[in-house]
Amino acid sequence: MFTHKNLDVWQRSMDLVDRVYTITEDFPGKEQFGLTSQIRRAGVSVPVNISEGAARHSPKDYIRFIRISFGSLSELETLFLICKRRDFINEKDLYSVLEEIRIIGSQLSKLIKSLENHVNQK
C-alpha cells in the first residue's frame, strides 16, 4: 500500500529532523527557547505537513499542506543562515544542511506539480 511514508521527500525530511536536532544540541543554552526551539519546530513541520496533507485524501488539500511544508523549509533555511551569523554553526554543517534543504525543496516542488496535474486532469 502506498502512503506518504513511501515518498522519498517524506523520508528525507524525517532524516532532516534528526539532523536538525543533532546540530542544535550544541547551540548555547540561552538559545533553548529562542533559535533552537524555532529551528526544531520548523524542521518538524516539514514531514508533519506532508503526512497531514496526505491524510486529507483531497489533492487540493494535499497541495496546501505541501506548500506549508515548503514554507517551513524556507523558514528553516533562514534560521540556519541566522545561526551562521551568530557563529552557532560551522561552515561545513551549514553547507550540508542547506544542500539537504535545497534537495527537499526541489522534491516538494515536483510533488506540488504532480498533484496540480492530477487536479487539472479531472
Q: Spell out the per-residue pLDDT of the chain, length 122, in tens.
A: 558 899 999 999 999 999 999 999 989 888 888 999 999 999 999 999 999 999 988 889 999 999 999 999 999 999 999 999 999 999 999 999 999 999 999 999 999 999 898 878 76
For the entire predicted model, the pTM comes to 0.92
> What is the length of the chain?
122
Residue 107 and residue 12 in contact, taking contact as beta carbons nearer than 8 Å: yes
Delineate the domains of the chain, giving CATH numbers in brackets: 4-121 (1.20.1440.60)
The C-alpha atoms of residue 51 and residue 56 are separated, in whole angstroms, by: 9
